[in-house]
Amino acid sequence: MKNLSLSVKEKADGIANASIDALGATSVQYAVSYRGEAVLSGSVGKYDKGETRPLSKDDMYGIGSTSKAYAAAAVMLLADMGKLDIDKPYKSYVPDFGMADPRHVNITPRHLMNHSSGIYGSHFKGSFLFEDNNMFAIENLLKHLKNCTLKYDPGSYMEYCNDGFQLLEILVERVSGLKFN
């Protein structure tokens, strides 16, 4: 079994190194699971382009928009469980959500997921956590939006909006009772 594990690790490292070579990436972290259980994890490459130190298992990356898939999946799981309706107003799940624009009451989770809420893109202040698990940006998003207006009527136009996905994270927490991060 030990040789098998070494063989799998060698193959995983080889695939990760090939990804670095093919894509010009700086590093790759990976995990291998078998029947729902993590059996191996590792990393190859260096911490960043400006450093020579190797990547470690404790290094964290800002995963950017990759997290949007997790937020949408969590919302859809809650919908499948009958705990929320993606076409019901967001405000019915997060009553303290408010904006300086009366149209905000028409925003639904579907609008947030498909970037058609009308909310102006991103306020970003502190939202990229990198090595800091500080939730300041998300915790203060509702306060920030209270003074904002919408760019267009919810559902009438699609424009990329990071704040919408942070709102979905809040929704998941409120409906599930679990911390999103």
Report CA-CA distances (Å) from 125 to 10, 48, 141. Answer: 41, 23, 9
pLDDT digit of tens for each residue in the chain (181 aa)?
445 556 888 998 999 999 889 988 888 888 888 888 888 888 888 887 887 888 877 777 666 678 899 999 999 999 999 999 999 999 999 999 999 999 999 999 999 999 999 999 776 555 444 445 555 566 688 988 999 999 999 999 999 998 999 999 999 999 999 987 7
Contact 135, 54 (CB under 8 A): no
User: Do 85 and 79 meet the contact criterion of CB atoms below 8 Å apart?
Assistant: yes
Q: Compute the Cα dihedral for 136, 137, 141, 143 and give only its sign.
A: positive
Q: Is residue 90 part of a domain?
A: yes
**Is the pTM of the predicted complex or chain greater than 0.85?**
no
Residues 71, 146 within the same domain: yes
Same domain, 114 and 158: yes
Amino acid at 79: A
The enclosing domain of 101 has a CATH number of 3.40.710.10
Residue 12 contacts residue 40 (beta carbons within 8 Å): yes
The reply to whether 26 and 87 lie within a common domain is no
Indicate whether 50 belongs to any domain. no
pLDDT for the residue numbered 1: 42
Half-sphere exposure of 180 (CA within 13 A, CB side): 26
Report d(CA 149, CA 123) in Å as an integer: 13
Number of domains in the chain: 2
Structural domain contains residue 58: no
Do 8 and 95 sit in the same domain of this protein? no
Q: Is residue 56 part of a domain?
A: no
Per-residue pLDDT at 131: 45
pLDDT of amino acid 58? 77
Residues in CB range of 169: below 8 A, 6 or more apart: 71, 138, 180, 181
Which is nearest to 159 in space by CA: 168, 167, 150? Answer: 150
Residues 35 and 102 in one domain: no
Residue 175: the pLDDT is 97
Q: Is residue 61 part of a domain?
A: no
Tell me what pLDDT residue 62 has: 66
Report if residue 89 sits inside a domain.
yes
The range of the structural domain enclosing residue 118 comes to 66-176
